[in-house]
Amino acid sequence: MGYKISMKDKITGVRANLILNSNCDWVREVVVEINSKYQGVGSSPVGETKSIYESQKEGKVLKDINKYLKEKLCGHIFSQESFDKLIFTDRGKLTSGLVYSLSSAFFYARVKARRISPVRLLTNGGKVGQPKILLNVLNGGLHAYTNAVYSDFSEYLLVPVKNDIEQLIADYHKLYSLIKEKLRLCPKRVVGGNVVSYLGRSNDSVFDFLTDVLEREKCNKRYTIMVDASAGNFYKEGQYYLPVTKKKMNSEMMINYWQKISLKYSVSILEDPLAETDMDSWQELYGNLVKSSIKVFLVGDNLFCSDVERLKINGCKKMINGTLIKPDQAVTVSRFREYWKEAKRQGLLTVASHRSVETESLLVSHLASALKIDFIKVGPLSNYNAVYKLNEIIRNKSDE
């Protein structure tokens, strides 16, 4: 076809600059030049909270990073795979964020050199998919900003039954308007320095709220509910210390709670309902859901941290049937693809995801479309970063 992701290119220039992310904090942006002509740009997002496995990947930024990158990379010829392998093994002298920026910058330089779209290069000219959009509608925990509610759990999302973006956007406007009006009338509390709407003293109140909203707008047949609990953030010494409601629960209590929620409400996806180190409980919850014939996807995020080696070792232990994939956690374009392949080999539901603090990078949209990932989290659509990513998904499909 004239272009393949395995084709090689010569690096003729590389530099790291400083730019601002969505929190207005300084981050490194990398520019990679190939074949003395084509430049690609890459920058890394970051999560406000990190898995214990993610923090283990971090290296230390060298003082003279531009000198090091030029000496290490310039003049050498790479495919995407060989480039990613080199910089990944060298991440001890860099940070995983900088390695991710290098990998994506090299990828986008190769896109320019071939005068094609990013998804065309990723698919070698094959068909492009369109992931279903997970609608972020409520946020809880200690870092909630958009539609913030009194809840221990980080995110509440709507899961579309059908993949119809026009219908989804029409429903979004109706639902969002009703949600904003109902939240406006709620009493307020201060949680983690943020003002949140108080729906009730338990997390069940949030599920009741969403169920009512969906029924009132006659959307309850088109959407189910997903919750991202980020339970590892409040797990310590074998106990769950819920940060907002101030309750203390052991693993058995958490397992029973999620089983109850899955039976009582139209919940179809549970993301990180348990801590990443509480692995026996993951297996028990998964087994109980299967035995009870409860059709819920148990999705691991912090459990695997987009690390293909961890997925290979632990994914077969019957503790999940779905997994999140975050490009910056996978660290390189090639390792994202490897993780996705292993997830599909294991028959897992795949969910691509943005991070809470973003840059202008659209790589997650390109990877999700090219690899036909099942769902994608882009963030609240009231945030233009999310709309930016959604627009690219729409463009990707029209590029076929």
Q: Which amino acid is it at 57?
A: K
* Burial per residue of 291-318, b for 16 or more beta-carbon CB atoms within 10 angstroms, e otherwise: eeeeebbbbbbbbbbbbbebbeebbeee
Element containing residue 356 per DSSP (H, E): none
Residue 43, strand partner residues: 29
- Neighbouring residues of 95: CB distance < 8 A, sequence distance ≥ 6: 58, 59, 60, 61
CA distance 256 to 264: 12
Element containing residue 133 per DSSP (H, E): strand 132-139
The distance in angstroms from the start CA to the end CA of the chain is 15
Binding residues: 271, 301
Q: Are strands 349-353 and 38-43 parallel, antiparallel or unpaired?
A: unpaired
Which residue is associated with the tokens 């860099």?
94
Binding residues for Mg(2+): 271, 301
Residue 369 backbone phi and psi in degrees, to 5: -75, -45
Query: What count of residues does the chain have?
Result: 400
Dihedral Cα 108, 387, 24, 151, nearest 10 deg:
-130
C-alpha separations of 135 from 160, 266, 280, 315 in Å: 8, 15, 31, 27
Residue 149, strand partner residues: 197
Joined tokens for residue 353: 């995801």
